[in-house]
Amino acid sequence: MKDDYQELVDEITALLGVPATLENRDFGLIAFGAHDSEDDSAMDPVRTRSILTRKSTPAVRAWFEGFGITRATAPVRIPAAPDAGVFRGRICLPVRHRGTVLGYVWLLDDSDPGPSASRLAAAMEVTARIGDLLADEARAGADLARELRAALTAEPGWQRDMALTALRAALGPSADGPYVVLCVAPWRGEEPRVRAVPGTAALCALPYGAVAEGRPARSTATGQTAGRLNGSSPGGATGRTSGPVSGPVSGSVNGPAGGSVNGPVHGSGEADTLALLVRLRSPDALAPVLTAVARLREDAGPGAAAGSCAPRRGLAELPAAWREAVSAARASAAQPRFGPVAQWTSIGPYRLLTALPTEPDPAVRPLLDPVHAELAHTAEVFLDHAGQAGRTASALGIHRQTLYYRLSRIEQLTGLELDDGEDRLLLHMALKSTRL
């Protein structure tokens, strides 16, 4: 498919004698013609950034859309604007299919009179063929999104078996190869193009509330309750977690990213979680995928987290792989040290912590009251330092006697004995899990 786009762009470049660039309607780069000019003015910052980062900024997009390109059915001439980084004038050829704009072909040209009307008309015929390809790709992506969503949300048993069989058939021979499942949450807005991450075979959006709370997902297509994404008690996907737990140790538990979740998911008033099924050249060839997902996470907006499962081969373990990706994303939000895309294989104890119920343990709940934030932080630092008073006091910058006083207050509030190993384990796990 990518080669088809490149051939059509090269055809327009040869037809008009100027380098052409093809972008989708979101200004994501698809293909571009060769630039063989030694003249520095053949490029400008906007064109260079588009090619290097494969996308344009919202400001650039708004500027160009101001010329009516979303409604145009014929070539649109756009003058140079050095203040906006547009040093060269452009001709925009809208790519449409059945009246809907699906993308744009951009020509760097500010000559007078520029390409003839007959050549531009011939180029528009080529854009019609591009529109057919983009429409076919969109339909295929929608079908795969439906099958992937069904496979991730189906109840265990025959329903899941049927969903996996349908997804396997839709993917074809590649279904048996190595792959990785990725989770980006929260995701707001439309599902991105399948090419958002190199090698993406399918992607879909799922209700965010289920992932944030570890509750069963509810299919956006059918409304049917689906299998658990985590090990907590069942319940509907509400789009919000059960409420804030304030203080340095916990921040807010209104979702993996902290903060409330109220963005749109197809008009429902909830945010989404984005699931991606990405093919791998080999099980250890993860680096390019993780880099691309990190960029996708940036597009998701402030507070988004991302996680990756351990690489798999074949679709039999797809639901388990999704649970790992969700857990890794939640761990990434709780602990930035795991990086922009946390890998399941690297999150250590959070493999277990993400499987715990989201409600805090009754013994620890009093300590999580906002008025005891300092005590909660002290407890976590004390346990992180293996209960060593000297190291803990140094890390907190307080006197040992102050530390001992705080520890006694922690024992009074929780009823736990900090000299008891199991009580320390319970407290430590409870404090860590509140970050999720």
Q: Which residues pair with 100 in a beta bridge?
A: 97
More confident residue, 55 or 250: 55
Residue 324 · residue 350 · CB < 8 Å: no
What does pTM read for this prediction? 0.61
For the chain, the C-alpha Rg in angstroms (whole number) is 26
Answer whether residue 7 shows pLDDT above 80: yes
Helices (H) and strands (E) in the chain — how many of each? 13, 13
pLDDT digits (tens, 9 = 90+) for 278-331: 988 887 788 888 888 888 887 787 788 899 999 999 999 999 999 999 999 988
pLDDT given at position 125? 93
**Annotated domain spans of the chain:** 2-136, 154-353, 365-433
Q: What is the pLDDT of residues 34-93, one digit of tens each?
A: 655 555 555 555 656 555 555 667 777 888 889 999 999 999 998 887 776 677 788 999
CATH class of the domain comprising 365-433: mainly alpha
pLDDT in tens, 200-215: 888 998 887 555 544 4
Query: How high does pLDDT run on average in the chain?
Result: 77
Instruction: Please list the alpha-helical segments (H only) found in 154-245.
Output: 158-171, 208-213
Pick the CATH number of 2-136 from 3.30.450.40, 3.40.50.1370, 3.40.1080.10, 2.60.40.10: 3.30.450.40
Asked if domains 2-136 and 365-433 share a fold, the reply is no
pLDDT digits (tens, 9 = 90+) for 80-139: 877 766 777 889 999 998 888 989 999 887 677 778 889 999 999 999 999 888 887 777
Write down the pLDDT at residue 211. 56
Q: Show the tokens assigned to 252.
A: 């807010």
Name the strand (E) or helix (H) holding 287: helix 287-300
Rounded to 10 degrees, the C-alpha dihedral 50/54/59/62 comes to 90
Q: Using pLDDT thresholds of 50, 70 and 90, give the confidence band for residue 247.
A: very low
181 pLDDT more than 90: yes
Q: Mean per-residue pLDDT for 175-193?
A: 85
**pLDDT-derived band of residue 399, with 50, 70 and 90 as boundaries?**
very high
From CA 231, how far away is CA 183, in angstroms rounded? 17
Res 265 pLDDT > 50: no
Rounded CA gap, 207 and 171, in Å? 24
CA-nearest of 289, 126, 273, 295 to 206 is: 273
Backbone angles phi, psi at 355, to 5 degrees: -95, -5
- Sequence-ordered list of residues with C-beta below 8 angstroms from that of 180, at least 6 positions apart, any chain: 278, 280, 286, 289, 308, 309, 310, 311, 312, 321
Percent helix, strand, coil in the chain, to 5, is 45, 15, 35
Query: What is residue 42's predicted lDDT score, i.e. its pLDDT?
Result: 53
pLDDT number for residue 266:
37
- Residue 76 to residues 64, 92, 337, 371, Cα–Cα distance (Å): 10, 5, 48, 61
User: Between these two residues, 233 and 413, which has the higher pLDDT value?
Assistant: 413
Q: What is the pLDDT of residue 5?
A: 85
User: CA-to-CA distance for 85 and 97, rounded, in angstroms?
Assistant: 31
